[in-house]
Structure 1
Amino acid sequence: MLVQQPESLKEAPLRPHATALHSHFVAPRRPTALAILGGLWLIIFFASLFAPPLLDDADATHANAARHILLSSDWVTLHVNGIRYLEKAPLPYWLVAISFKLFGFNTFAAHLPQTIGVLLLALLGYLWADKAFGPRTALYTGIAILTSAGVFLFTRVFIPEVLLSLLLCAALYLMLEALEGGRPFTTYSMWTVLALAVLTKGLVALVFFGGATILYLFLSGDSIHWRTLKPFTGTLLFLVIAAPWHILAGLRNTGGMDGHGFFWFYFVNEHFLRFLGKRIPMDYNKLPGYLFWSLHLVWLFPWALFLPVLVQQAFIAFRNHRRASTPIFDNWPTWTAYAVAIGGILLRNLFHFPYLLTVLLAAVAILLIELRRRQQHAAPGTALLHIDTYAQRTTLLLTIYAGLILVFFSFSTNQEYYTFPAYLPLLILLTHALVRAEDASAVDKHSRLWINIAHATFTVLGAAIFAALAYGLWTARHEAFVPDIGDLLAHRGVGDYTLSMSHLFDLTGKSFAALRLPAAIAALAFAFGPALAWILRRQRRHLAATGMLALTSTVFLIAAHIALIRFGPMLSSQTIAAKIQQLEDNNTISRDSVVMLYGDQAFGSSIPFYLGKDVDLVEGRSTSMLFGSTFPDAPPIFLTNADLLAGWGKGDRKLLFVPLEKRDVVDQLLGSRQIILDETSGKALITDRPLR
């Protein structure tokens, strides 16, 4: 069943005669649209819950923290490998602990909560976009969330970003509903969801929600309705939910490094010092400015291709907004001089922090001056911006919220996935701009041009990706399939593997033999999908064209998941744990054998998870283990090289996991006194005596 698209009734017109521009394209009814979204989620996300095994580093580390909750019944203090793990808020680990209780300790259970979070994020995007912009934008938004590269990539690992995104966007949606005349239940739901967001990621949730809300109320004129948000009783409800865990964690974790406890480490070290890049230990990077901004084109691919369409539609909306309201930014000499000065600074000192901060502060100052001048010349009570419809309110709120996140992390220390909470608002704005351009394309040549440019770019990129994959497949056509792709990689260390997908730079001709299936699937998708989408777009079959673009991305993500499984032996040490269990089951080694990891626990964090027990760490008192190791009741799991040499070959059998990064160090340390039991992707399991 199909319904007419009501965008022209829901939002301010593009032009005075906008009703003539709408082609009245149809969109599926809600049950059909939800079935499409559910099907995409099942194919892309649910089907990928079973493989590969938990990855080393953050994935298995966080799973170990959730595992400890269930086994110890301690729901206050997180532990990893027996050591206090105080840097994270608890809600994601509580959810995974519950999942472990229901489904056992496995990959499926570890990733199920965040996979459900993706589905809920898509449904929230659909609901919000449907109310603000209509069913076609709603469908596009849900599809875009489920088929964006970044959403897929950053939910392959157990990190809290998708849950934080869901809760913050839900809180903002409820805030807008409350201001629109919602019942008290809506307002208190907002405060409840905000408290859960703080329990997911800490104080940064308050920064994003509070900053976006205050600026929105200031600009929209809705500040006169501030009592609707029930700030006093709502804050009390917020504290009732969010405060108990923080208080208990502080009371139970005192006497750590230099006398510091949870309160200092969690609030000062993990929030303020992390933002300033002075966190202890110094184990976090900051992406260069050009990468921080440009990589969002990758994380929002393929929908980022419509960024020029968003800019064009925003310009049209701004122009119409000026016609419908009191003039703003009409002090053109000031803005021209500012633009010239800032342009020169950026060209000379691109992405240099002090200059960027100067640019930002100058822009804010001039903006406030202009807004204040406008308010002085307007009637009392006039809003700073001319906001009339729910669509305009949504656009303003999402723009402020996404901009705040991007600017915040452009100054802070950051990882690529930190801006995940901005994905939903950006995708809503992108897809809405696409719908407006589709409706206007029949008579507006500029809208038609920018849509065609997006598809032309996608087609060229598709041809380039197809050519690269076809070349790789051709060069590897005679190579034998090797299950362990890690043995065939170049290990060039591009980005020191701190960037997502850094291992793609390690691919060799021989390693492509292990990727024949996913490479062939992706090649076929990019060979035909982008061109077909463009053809459908030229035929003005807009819904079908967007669907083809989503289908291309879906097939690519399926191929990417298959490739991730092939990379599994290199990214996870589950096979090492399985080898240890096999030797124990065969009575080849005793179950009393001492299992040790060389270096930081992140190198092999999947081993203690799959073994179901804590392990000793040799020269591993670092990064996430450092602060917790300073508490007086920390177990004696930290060994030095001297301790390893003193006990090697004596007492119970020693089993030592050695990551690729430490093989040379251990070879120099132990020499011929090691017996290799298993080796995969450069990682080794060695022992100190022959097997019986």
Structure 2
Amino acid sequence: MKKYLNKYSFFSYAVLGLLIIRAFLNWVVPLMDKTEARYSEIARIMAETNNWITPQIDYGVPFWAKPPLSTWLSAISFKFFGVNEFTARLPYFLLVILLVFLIGKYAKRKQLPFFLPGFILLTLPEFLIHAGVVSTDTALAFSVALVMLSFWETLQDNAKSYWKYLIFVGFGLGLLAKGPIIFILTLPPLVIWCVLFRYYTIIFKRIPWVIGSIITMVVALPWYLLAEKQTPGFIDYFIIGEHFMRFFDSSWTGDKYGFPKSQPLGMIWIFLLLFALPWIQALLLKLWQNSNKILKNKWIAFLLLWLLWTPLFFTVSRSLIHPYIMPVMVPLALLITHWWKSIKHQKTIIRLSLIVPVFSVIIYAYGSINNQLQFYSNTDKYFIENNAQFDNIYHLEHKSYSGQFYSKGTIKSISISQMDELEPKESFCFIIPNRDFAKVSKKITDQLLLIESNYKKGIYTYKNK
């Protein structure tokens, strides 16, 4: 009993410590371009304009690439707690905490520490990153987990009645988090599992498909209709472009907001091996050792199908990024939990899993002390905050999302030709990427004084003005 209590205490304190580390980093690390700063700026504009239907990438410019759930969460956080990095990331941090508590009971059922699966989750590099990143992937992962775990609970004897409805709440949230991909990532593994274990009739008896479908529509459909009404063309771009063209064509030129993300075929598996270490390697060993038992255990088969389906689906796509593996972090943690008692070298694996979170703090501390964080961060935060005395801050050519966020939308873009025509004033300063400085005429550069710089850009004002 004493040994069990010690283990229980370790995982409780470890999870608390990991959450504190992530919360600290959420507070002190600036928003980075492009993705995180972009979603934060979209949320800031939503909170400022009170336009809760159409997310805007700039004032009056609709953002059609993603549904609004993540934007709503950050915008609501801004409304209650103010606009800063921590409040932008707070909703995703809270979703992670909810997932930690949601899956803890599966350890308790096996007489294991409640926070064991939460510890595994928080030491998965991909999951730890998204406990503090403003993006759509954490909300999607939460929605997938809600669908899958609610489905499992619904089919258990003496199941609580609310689980069968939560399946469809999860579908609705997924539609608002990232769109129809919620069905693609959940229904195939569920159908395959039901066929394997011959759950042909029980799923129709226990799952309220008609009422459930209505629940899903009530949660998600109103926004889709209002969004299309407010900005016609949204549904065509989002459903056809973002879901089909992006998946099948990595060079798709219709992308309004990003750039082609071409990867080698099968790259999703490399992402999984790298961003889920060391736990994915431990899991592969257990799967090899228990290969003859996998399809005989309903729980293992359920989790394994959930885990494998997403990377299998994205194997044939070149247009992908590493956050696409986020939805499979939960089944990975639960499979490790299932085999925990038989895993050898537990202490070694635990120590290895703590390398990423511990080094994150060390790297931040070192970077702050030596001013390397400010120099190497891909953000315009420091330029904006350190030069707030200027009435006008311009960014040469395309302004950054971090510049928009930290200037509260006041930063302006300026072209090279406009710089030539601008009358020099002491209230002006310019953020100029290093690669573009040579493009500016000598007439202008001779008048510019460098205020500060980082590895990508410099901020300048006029000399003697």
Compute the TM-score of the two structures, normalised by the length of structure 2: 0.88
Aligned to 2:451: 677
CA offset at residue 172 of structure 1? 0.8
SS of residue matched to 2:291? helix
Deviations 1:86-133 (A, max 9, x none): 2111111111112112221111111111112222222223223444x5
SS of residue matched to 2:394? strand
Is residue 428 from structure 1 mapped to residue 301 from structure 2 by the alignment?
no
Letter in 2 for 1:194: F
2:396 to 586, 594, 598: 598
Q: Is the 8 A contact 2:144 2:186 kept in 1?
A: yes
Q: Is the 8 A contact 2:70 2:177 kept in 1?
A: yes
- Which stretch shows the higher mean deviation, 662-671 or 99-108? 662-671
Aligned to 2:433: 659
Correspondence 1:316-335 to 2 at 5 A: 316-318=292-294
2:307 to 375, 378, 402: 402
C-alpha separation in 2, matches of 1:134 and 1:171: 25
Deviations 1:406-449 (A, max 9, x none): 0122222101111111122123223433x2534xxxxxxxxxxx
Query: Which consecutive residues of structure 2, in runs of 5 or more, have no partner in the other structure?
Result: none
C-alpha separation in 2, matches of 1:253 and 1:653: 38
Correspondence 1:179-578 to 2 at 5 A: 179-181=155-157, 182-227=159-204, 228-254=206-232, 261-277=233-249, 278=252, 280-281=254-255, 283-289=259-265, 291-318=267-294, 392-412=297-317, 413-433=319-339, 435-438=340-343, 451=344, 537=345, 542=346, 544-545=347-348, 547-562=350-365, 566-570=372-376, 571-578=378-385
1:104 to 82, 87, 98: 82
CA offset at residue 403 of structure 1? 1.4
Aligned to 2:413: 617
Q: Is the 8 A contact 1:52 1:568 kept in 2?
A: no
The total of aligned residue pairs comes to: 453
SS of residue matched to 2:177? helix
Q: Is the 8 A contact 2:419 2:444 kept in 1?
A: no
CA offset at residue 574 of structure 1? 0.9
SS of residue matched to 2:29? coil
Letter in 1 for 2:394: M
Q: Is the 8 A contact 1:648 1:654 kept in 2?
A: no
Correspondence 1:108-147 to 2 at 5 A: 108-131=86-109, 133-135=110-112, 139-147=115-123
Aligned to 1:371: none
C-alpha separation in 2, matches of 1:667 and 1:293: 48
Q: Is the 8 A contact 2:150 2:166 kept in 1?
A: yes
Letter in 1 for 2:98: L
Letter in 1 for 2:264: P
Cα 1:245–1:308 shift into 2, 3 Å: closer
CA offset at residue 190 of structure 1? 1.8
Cα 1:315–1:275 shift into 2, 3 Å: same
Letter in 2 for 1:410: T
Look at both structures and tell me which one has the larger radius of gyration over its CA atoms. 1
Cα 1:284–1:409 shift into 2, 3 Å: same
SS of residue matched to 2:152? helix
CA offset at residue 267 of structure 1? 1.3
1:168 to 121, 126, 144: 144
Identity among equivalent positions (%) equals 20
Letter in 2 for 1:423: M
CA offset at residue 43 of structure 1? 3.1
Aligned to 1:622: none
Deviations 1:552-602 (A, max 9, x none): 554234324446754344322111101331x24xxxxxx3x3x3323444x
Q: Is the 8 A contact 1:55 1:568 kept in 2?
A: no
C-alpha separation in 1, matches of 2:337 and 2:8: 20
Aligned to 1:378: none
Q: Is the 8 A contact 2:15 2:115 kept in 1?
A: no
C-alpha separation in 1, matches of 2:133 and 2:367: 12
SS of residue matched to 2:236? helix
Q: Is the 8 A contact 2:227 2:234 kept in 1?
A: yes
C-alpha separation in 1, matches of 2:373 and 2:40: 20
Cα 1:653–1:239 shift into 2, 3 Å: same
Deviations 1:524-546 (A, max 9, x none): xxxxxxxxxxxxx4xxxx5x555
CA offset at residue 550 of structure 1? 4.5
Aligned to 2:387: 580
Cα 1:280–1:652 shift into 2, 3 Å: farther
SS of residue matched to 1:655? strand
Correspondence 1:640-655 to 2 at 5 A: 640-645=415-420, 647-649=421-423, 654-655=428-429
CA offset at residue 205 of structure 1? 1.1
Letter in 2 for 1:294: I
C-alpha separation in 2, matches of 1:65 and 1:104: 15
